Structure formats: structure tokens, C-alpha cells
Structure 1
Amino acid sequence: MRLSIDHHTRYKFSEPQARVVQLLHMTPLDNEAQTVLDWRIDVDCDARLREGTDGYGNHVTMLYVDGPVEALAITVRGQVLTEDMAGIVRGAPEPLPPVFYTRGSAATSAGEATIALARSARGSDPLERAHRLNGVVAHAVTIEGGRAEKILAPDDILASGHATVREAAQLMVAAGRAAGFPARFVSGHSLHGPDRARRRSAHYWAELHLGAIGWVGFDPCAGASPDESYVRVAVGVDLAEVTPVAGTRIGGGVEELDVAVSVGVQ
């Protein structure tokens, strides 16, 4: 499948900023399930871009803009040729051992409710158990489009009974670790999801390491593993390490953020 991605991010500041620095996780890498055919990042002002790789093996772009800056627009466009690998990740950079992803974080720390959820997914085969866990997470909350204003702990997500796409992925990561799997957060894009009619963010899912099989993706939004309708961009221990755009600014006032994402088939 040939997918096209258009990701638009616009900041508007109430006061001119002296400087803006952004870290972008917005460029996918080739692996056995995807080949990047074309990709570019455009900024609507005089900006310096520096390409690199982070500790997880993700492609990163540092963006520097000197002020005065009243608004900033970042446009990312590209095309990726994809193949269905049943969620199995092969050919991607893996600078860290799976055991690294057993470590928790405040956003993915499993409380009693999440641990109980993880224990409810039984099975002797790791792949079978992981798929059951993904189904359990998918049915534990009503998954909605949009972005949450603040990040809730996994138990609080369960208690609320509903979750955004990234909260569902966060819950799957926490439940996966509670079930004994190394688990990591993934950002990227998908043709599907609850916000596909009006996307205001990237898509998010989880990857669990299943021993000899290796890393396998699980998307609670779909109740299944990623297929050829997905583009994988970045991985990390939690959301903070795969956010498409994050950074700092020097200047007062407040900022308005608007994001629009389009995913289509060529």
C-alpha cells in the first residue's frame, strides 16, 4: 500500500518570542514493513534544521528559530510504501536491549487495576496472550478521538472508562509490562482510528517483545496488530519520548497549538 501523510502543526504566540527550539519526531525510517519513498519538513519562517538520531534509534530533527517569532507553522509531507507484516517489527534500528523497556515511568506505572487487567489475559503462548491482552484493553475503555489536556495514570484511565488514542496506547504499554513483557510506546500514522474524520494528532500504539518472535505491535484502537495501513515513526518508553513536536521557547505570554493530520492512499 502506498500511503501519503500530511501533518500540519501551527503555533501562535500571544507575545513575540525571542527564540523557539523544537525537537521533532516526525520522520519515519525504513524497515521490512515500510519504505519511505519521499519525505520533507517545511517551516514557514527562517529556521535551522539539524538531523540526527536519538538513543532509541529514532530519526530526530532539531528546529531552531530566532525571534521575534509571533507564529510558527511546520508542514510535514511524505509517501511511504507499506507491507503487512502482522505487526512484527524487523529491520528497524534496535540500539537498546528489550530489557530496557521493562522499566516504568510515571505515565506508564501500573497500579492495582492495571495489574488485574493484565492478569485477566491468560494464555500459555506469548503471542496468544499478548493478543488477548490487547483485546482486554480495547474493551476496558471507550476509545475516542482528540487529545487529552493532561496525561492520566493507567489506573485513572481505567477508572474514567474512556481514553484518547494515546491514552489507550499508554494503557497497553503499562498492562504489557505488568504482564511480564518488555513494552514500548509507538507514534506514527494510520488510515484508521476514532479520529480519522478530523485528525488532531498522530496515531499511537504499543509494541511488546515476545521472545523469539521479537517486537510485535498491538493497537488497542483496532483490537489487532498494525498492518499495511500503518506508518511507524518513533518508539520510546512512554509518550514524552515519541511526541511528534516538543520543545521550549524564550518569551512571555501563552501559545495556541493547532494540529491537523491527513492520511490517504495513493
Structure 2
Amino acid sequence: MRLSISHETTYHYEDQVRASIQYVRLTPHDSERQHVLSWQLELPRPVRAQLDPFGNILHVLTLDEPHEAIIIGARGQVDIDELREAEHESQSALPFLRFTRLTEADEALQAFATQQCRQRRDRSALIDLMHGLNQYITYTPGATEVQTSAAQAFAGRAGVCQDHAHTFIACARSLGIPARYVSGYLYSESSEHLASHAWAEAWLEDAWYSFDVTNQLARPERHLKLAVGLDYLDACPVRGMRRGGGFEQMHAKVFISPLPAPVMSVQQQ
């Protein structure tokens, strides 16, 4: 599947911001499952790309002059291998066993993971865990914030894709399975769900397998990966700090559409 993406995020501030720094992870990279055909990042000024500790493509945007708004855009085309279910990497998966504040598994999460998986530690067990979390935590926009932890979302039984990913990661790590947070895009035929998305990956049989709790999908055939990390803070598309500015308003527009695959011509002999 070939996907075309257009993503624009605008930040407006109540007062002038004296200075700001934005960590931008909005550029996908090639992998076994996706091939970037073209990609363009639109920032207020040119910024050199670098790799962060997790291998994500990172741009650090620093604005030293006063400003009242920031517009960050990204657009491009990416081919997705719909048949590939897992991705292999040379880096160790062991760092993704470490809990963070957002992915700490309390007693309730540990008990839920054990109840869903019992003694199993395979893909079918984690698929059962995915379905169980989907039924337990109702998708409810506005019920949580970016700083809401997995334990808090689980206790409240409501959240969004970020919370679904965090609770899955917490459960998997409590079972001794490396798991990581993924940010990116999901294409859906329903226009209501064309947006940025988050899901989880778990390390099984020397490969990373995807688990989208929100949509109950264990095959990433319509997912475009941007970044990975221990939790949301490591992999979110844009994360920043500023001096001044007062109240902030953020508005994001994301458009995703499938494109027809190129037709190969056959020359006659």
C-alpha cells in the first residue's frame, strides 16, 4: 500500500514567546516494512537531521527570537509492505524492559497481564492481552492527558491510543517481554479516524511485532511508523519547551490517502 501524508501542526500563544526549543520526530525512515519514497519537513528555519538514542530521525528546532506562533509541516509518500508482520533489528531489545513513570505496572496491571496471558509468553497471548485491554479501557477522547500514566488510565478505564499503548507496554514488561511505544499514522477508510496514531510493539522470536490495542490490530498493514521509544515522551511527533507565551493553543491537520501502485509496463520482444 502506498500512502500519501500531509501533516500540519500550528501552535498559537497568548503572549509572545521569548525563546523555544522543539524536538521534532516527524520523519519516517526505511525499514523492512516501509520504504520512504519522498518526504519533506517544513520548519520555520532549516534544521539538520540527527539520530536519537532509539534510532529515530530527530530535528531540533531552536527559536531565539520572540514569536507568537510556530507552524510545523510534514508531507510525503511511503510504501507499506502489507504482508510483513514483523521487523528485525540489530539493536538489543533489552532496554525496552525498563519501566518509566508512564509505563510502570502497578499490582492491578500485573494481575491483569497474568490473568490474560497465564503462563504463555507468545504472540497469541499478547493478542489476547490486546483484546482484553481494548474491552477494559474505553476509547474516550479527553479522558486523559499526555502525562497520564498507564496505571492511572487503567484505574479510570478510559483513555485514547496513547493510554492503550502505555498499558499494553506496562503489562508486557511485567511479563518479562520487551515492549516499546510507537508513534505514526494509521490509514482508515473512515474519515473520522484519519489522524496521528500510537500503538505498541513487543519483542518475540527475535523480531518486533505490532499490537494496536485501539483498533485491535496485530498486523500493521495500514500503519506508518515515525518513531519508537520507552513511552510517549521518547516518541511523540513534537515535544518542546518555551520561555513565556502564556496559554498555548495547538491545532493539527492530518490527511492520509492511499495512492495506486505504479503500473509496470511490459515491453514486447
TM norm. shorter chain > 0.5? yes
Contact 1:165–1:221 (Cα < 8 Å) also in 2? yes
- Kept after mapping to 2: 8 A contact 1:40/1:78: yes
Q: Secondary structure at the match of 2:26?
A: coil
Q: What root-mean-square deviation, in Å, do the aligned CA atoms of Structure 1 and Structure 2 show?
A: 2.1
1:84-115 deviation line (CA, Å, top 9, x unaligned)? 2453113x5x54x1111111001100011111
Matched position secondary structure for 2:147: coil
Residue of 190, 193, 214 corresponding to 2:207:
214
Q: Output one character per residue of 1:166-223: Cα deviation in whole Å (capped at 9) or x when no partner.
A: 1111111111111220111110110149x95166x6200011111x242111110121
Q: In the alignment, residue 227 of structure 2 is paired with which amino acid?
A: A
**1:261 and 2:263 aligned:** no
Q: Is 1:114 matched with 2:109?
A: yes
Confirm or deny that 1:133 pairs with 2:129: yes
Distance 1:154 1:63 in 2: 30
- Residue 255 of structure 1 and its aligned partner are, at CA, apart by 1.9
- Say which SS state the counterpart of residue 86 (structure 2) adopts: coil
Q: How far apart are residue 119 of structure 1 and its match?
A: 0.5
> 1: distance between equivalents of 2:52 and 2:179?
18
Which of 77-86 and 227-236 deviates more? 77-86
Provide the aligned length of Structure 1 versus Structure 2.
258
| Conserved? CA contact 1:112–1:155, under 8 Å | no
Distance 1:255 1:147 in 2: 19
Q: Is the 8 A contact 2:103 2:151 kept in 1?
A: no
2:29 equivalent to 1:35: no
Structure 1 position 260, deviation (Å): 2.0
Structure 2 segments unaligned to the other structure (5+ residues): 260-269
* Structure 1 spans left out of the alignment, 5+ residues: none
Take 2:15 and 2:180, find their aligned partners in 1: how far apart are those partners?
38
Deviation at 1:136, TM superposition (A): 1.4
Query: Could you tell me how far 1:146 is from its partner in structure 2?
Result: 6.0
Give the distance between the partners of 1:147 and 1:239, measured in 2 at CA: 17
Equivalent residue number for residue 26 of structure 2 = 26
The answer on 1:100 being equivalent to 2:95 is yes
Q: Taking every aligned residue pair, what percent have the same amino acid on both sides? A: 29
Moved more, 230-239 or 249-258: 249-258
In the TM superposition, structure 1's runs of 4+ consecutive aligned residues that sit over 4 Å from their partners are none
**For the residues of structure 1 that align with 2:144 and 2:251, how far apart are their CA atoms?**
14
Contact 1:48 1:65 in 2 (8 A): no
Deviations 1:30-69 (A, max 9, x none): 11111001111113x4x23121000001111111223221
| 2:56 aligned partner, one-letter code | N
**Is the 1:144–1:165 Cα contact (8 Å) retained in structure 2?**
no
Taking a change above 3 Å as real, the CA distance of residues 147 and 34 of structure 1, as seen in their structure-2 partners, is farther
